[in-house]
Structure 1
Amino acid sequence: MFKKEILIFVSIFLFLALGMHMNQWLTHPLTHLNNLSANKMPYHPLLYTTIVYIFTGLIRAVLSAVIKLFRKR
């Protein structure tokens, strides 16, 4: 269960990183990676990923509850 959640978190992180900065990752990835540590807000990728992870977790929990509700009937 823990490995599955880590995989989901890392997948969201990679999806957001590529989605927000696709041009930088494709044209000059090493420079972009070095600039991440010099950023004023180096924690922002993890912050955004955590927010999206919590949001998707809530959706997964609601869907799971709805499925369990219909299976009982």
Structure 2
Amino acid sequence: MIRWKKELAIFVAIFLFLALGMHFKEWTSHPLHQIEALPESPLGPWHPLYITFGVYLVVLIIRLAFAGLRKIFTKG
């Protein structure tokens, strides 16, 4: 799998996890209404992507830190 495809898959997984975690009842009962209501959201219509990107950056930093630590401890 090409690296960008892996990162995109991680981003989409985080997006779905957050969307279902925050609005599970709405997504299971009336998902189209949930999408149609985005423009009227108090957080703005793009808030799912902003929040997902923020969480993705946190996850990326943690992944890079663990990769760096693994590299340090396996060299010696």
Give the alignment's TM-score, normalised by structure 1: 0.93
Structure 1 residue 22: Cα displacement: 0.3
**Hey, what does 1:44 align to over in structure 2?**
47
| Regions of 4+ moved over 4 Å | none
Percent of counterpart pairs with the same letter?
45
Gaps of 5+ in 1: none
**Hey, what does 2:58 align to over in structure 1?**
55
Partner SS, residue 15 of structure 1 = helix
**Hey, what does 1:35 align to over in structure 2?**
37
Give the alignment's TM-score, normalised by structure 2: 0.89
Gaps of 5+ in 2: none
Deviation string, structure 1 residues 1-45 (Cα, Å, up to 9, x no partner): 011111110110010000000010011111112112343501110
Identify which of structures 1 and 2 has the higher relative contact order when contacts are C-alpha pairs closer than 8 Å and 6+ apart: 1
How far apart, CA to CA, are the structure 1 residues paired with 2:39 and 2:12?
Answer: 19
C-alpha root-mean-square deviation of aligned residues, in Å? 1.0
Aligned residues: 73
Partner SS, residue 49 of structure 1 = helix
How far apart, CA to CA, are the structure 2 residues paired with 1:15 and 1:37?
Answer: 21
